[in-house]
């Protein structure tokens, strides 16, 4: 049976849901507050540098799932880009994430056995690490922590690492071989032609209305549809009734330079607290392995990323995963579960207040579509007028 479905937000979660539900025969409408689909993945072509600019920071697709990889390849061809980050600290360049070459640069070790022994000597005995700083000290010791983690973390979160949960850093690998691929996943790359082209194909044939702010007219929108998929901030949806969830934001400073190559790498992190930016992206390197690039281009585009407090007009990029914020989110989650009886589904990075990699977003969206198709999204019926009355935005 065909349902009328509204999807609020044309980022990756919303676009995947839209594609699948549209193909299943449902009447789908996507509304988006920005002027184009794509969310934070959006890219644009810069002719002078002959590359695609990642408008909201680097987005490198990676997954260990054959199913997810096959899914995204329905909508784009991917180049062979591999993320091999470099770190600059006190004028020195290091390989990152920490690998055998990094450990050679820092400690002079040459073999995996020597590297393991050097790190073991550095480790601080902490029985149950309670925060990010303690986790790092117990895992790699003070030298590597101060070189690669401490200053970067203070800038990114504007908090002492001792105030942050260890989960923030656990996704960064430490290796005792020369593997400098940032990710462990088997599949990795960037869409040839940029992410915006991928979104054009994901949303082909699906009605999309841009420039629409859902929240001021939320009751009206909800009343017109059988099911609503909301991908915006969950606290804003409920009028910040339990207070605002904390985020960190970013400020981007782009510069077109009259040189064919500025730093020789796509991503260079700057880990000293005194350097105001956290990293420099050079966009040509994201496209370097894509076919069809023009030879002899004499300009390059770089972006400096500056951490920023989240506020009006700034994008909420990173949830601040403190215990207080987790408790606040759970209150919103309970409010959503109690108020809408399944009519409104909250999905994606902002609605679930968690950091997602792109492959995780796709997996979560496909899982929700599966539940919707099986009818598992329904809970005991609540009259539509009551559901809408509970809406606090």
Residue 384 has pLDDT above 60, yes or no: no
Written as one string, the DSSP assignment of 100-133 is HHHHHHHH---SHHHHHHHHHHH----SS--SHH
**C-alpha to C-alpha distance for 243 and 337, rounded to whole angstroms:** 18
Domains of the chain are 4-37+203-246+320-389 (3.40.50.720), 86-170 (no CATH)
* Residue 149 burial class via C-beta count within 10 angstroms: exposed 0-12, middle 13-18, buried 19 and up: buried
Check residue 338 and give its pLDDT.
76
pLDDT at 95 over 90: yes
Residue 195 has pLDDT above 70, yes or no: yes
> Six-digit token pair at 59?
């987005």
The band of 1, judged by pLDDT with boundaries at 50, 70 and 90, is confident
Question: For 230-277, what is each residue's pLDDT tens digit?
Answer: 999 999 999 999 999 999 999 999 999 999 999 999 999 999 999 999
To the query of whether residue 305 is one of the catalytic residues in this protein, the response is: yes
CA distances from 148 to 116, 136, 152, 305 (A): 18, 10, 7, 17
Among candidate residues 175, 284, 328, 387, the one labeled active-site is 175
What is the average pLDDT score of the chain? Answer: 92
Residue 11 has pLDDT above 80, yes or no: yes
pLDDT band, very low/low/confident/very high, at 377 (cuts 50, 70, 90) = low
388 pLDDT more than 50: no
Yes or no: say if 94 and 86 are a contact pair by the CB < 8 Å rule: yes
Distance, in Å, from the CA atom of 316 to the CA atom of 9, rounded to the nearest integer, reads 14
In the set 284, 305, 328, 332, the catalytic residue is 305
pLDDT, tens digit (0-9, with 9 covering 90-100), for 34-50: 999 999 999 999 999 99
Whole-prediction pTM: 0.91
353 is catalytic: no
Hunting for tokens 């804003």 — which residue is that?
Answer: 236
Q: What is the pLDDT of residue 389?
A: 32
Q: Which residues, 6+ apart, have CB-to-CB distance to 232 below 8 Å?
A: 8, 9, 33, 214, 215, 350, 351
- pLDDT of res. 376: 67
- Residue 298: CB atoms within 10 A of its CB come to 11
Question: Is 171 part of the annotated catalytic residue set?
Answer: yes
| Residue 248 among the catalytic residues | yes
Q: Which of 70-79, 119-128, 288-297, 338-347 has the lowest mean pLDDT?
A: 288-297
Q: For position 374, what pLDDT does the model report? A: 83
Q: Is 279 a catalytic residue?
A: yes
* 52-62 pLDDT tens trace: 999 999 999 99
Active-site residue (options: 279, 328, 349, 387): 279
How confident is the model over 157-184, as a mean pLDDT? 90
Q: Considering the candidates 45, 306, 318, 355, report the single residue annotated as catalytic.
A: 355
In angstroms, rounded to a whole number, what is the distance separating the alpha carbons of residues 361 and 347? 9
pLDDT band at 288 (very low <50, low <70, confident <90, very high): confident
β-pairing, 208-210 vs 227-230, is unpaired
Q: Give the H/E segment covering residue 135.
A: helix 132-139
Q: Pick the catalytic residue: 19, 248, 328, 349?
A: 248
pLDDT tier, 284 (very low <50, low <70, confident <90, very high otherwise): very high
What percent of the chain is modeled with pLDDT above 70? 94
């Amino acid at each position: 049976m065909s349902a009328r479905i509204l999807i609020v937000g044309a980022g990756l979660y919303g676009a995947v849901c839209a594609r699948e539900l549209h193909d299943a025969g449902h009447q789908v409408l996507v509304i988006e507050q920005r002027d184009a689909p794509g969310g934070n993945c959006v890219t644009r072509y810069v002719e002078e540098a002959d590359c695609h600019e990642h408008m909201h920071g680097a987005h490198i697709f990676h997954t260990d799932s054959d199913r997810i990889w096959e899914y995204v390849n329905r909508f784009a061809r991917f180049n062979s880009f591999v993320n091999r980050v470099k770190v600059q600290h006190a004028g020195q360049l290091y390989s990152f994430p920490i690998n055998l070459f990094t450990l050679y640069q820092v400690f002079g070790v040459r073999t995996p056995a020597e590297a393991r022994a050097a790190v073991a000597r550095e480790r601080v005995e902490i029985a149950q690490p309670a925060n990010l700083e303690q986790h790092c000290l117990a895992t790699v010791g003070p030298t590597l922590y101060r070189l690669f983690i401490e200053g970067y973390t203070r800038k990114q979160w504007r908090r002492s690492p001792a105030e942050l949960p260890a989960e923030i850093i656990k996704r960064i690998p430490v290796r005792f071989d020369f593997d400098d691929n940032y990710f462990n996943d088997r599949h990795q790359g960037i869409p040839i032609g940029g992410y915006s082209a991928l979104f054009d194909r994901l949303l082909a044939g699906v009605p999309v209305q841009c420039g629409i702010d859902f929240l001021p007219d939320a009751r009206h929108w909800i009343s017109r549809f059988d099911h609503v998929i909301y991908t915006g901030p969950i606290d804003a949806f409920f009028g910040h009734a339990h207070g605002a969830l904390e985020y960190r934001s970013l400020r981007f400073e782009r510069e077109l330079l009259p040189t064919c190559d500025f730093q020789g790498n796509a991503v260079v992190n700057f880990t000293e607290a005194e350097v105001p930016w956290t990293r420099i992206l050079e966009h040509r390197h994201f496209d370097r392995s894509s076919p069809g690039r023009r030879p002899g281009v004499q300009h390059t585009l770089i972006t400096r990323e500056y951490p920023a407090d989240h506020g009006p007009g700034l994008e909420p990029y990173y949830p601040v995963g403190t215990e207080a914020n987790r408790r606040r989110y759970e209150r919103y989650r309970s409010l959503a579960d109690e108020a809408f009886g399944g009519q409104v589904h909250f999905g994606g990075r902002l609605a679930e207040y968690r950091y997602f990699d792109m492959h995780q977003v796709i997996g979560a969206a496909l899982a929700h579509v599966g539940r919707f198709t099986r009818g598992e999204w329904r809970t005991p019926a609540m009259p539509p007028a009551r559901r809408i009355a509970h809406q606090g935005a």
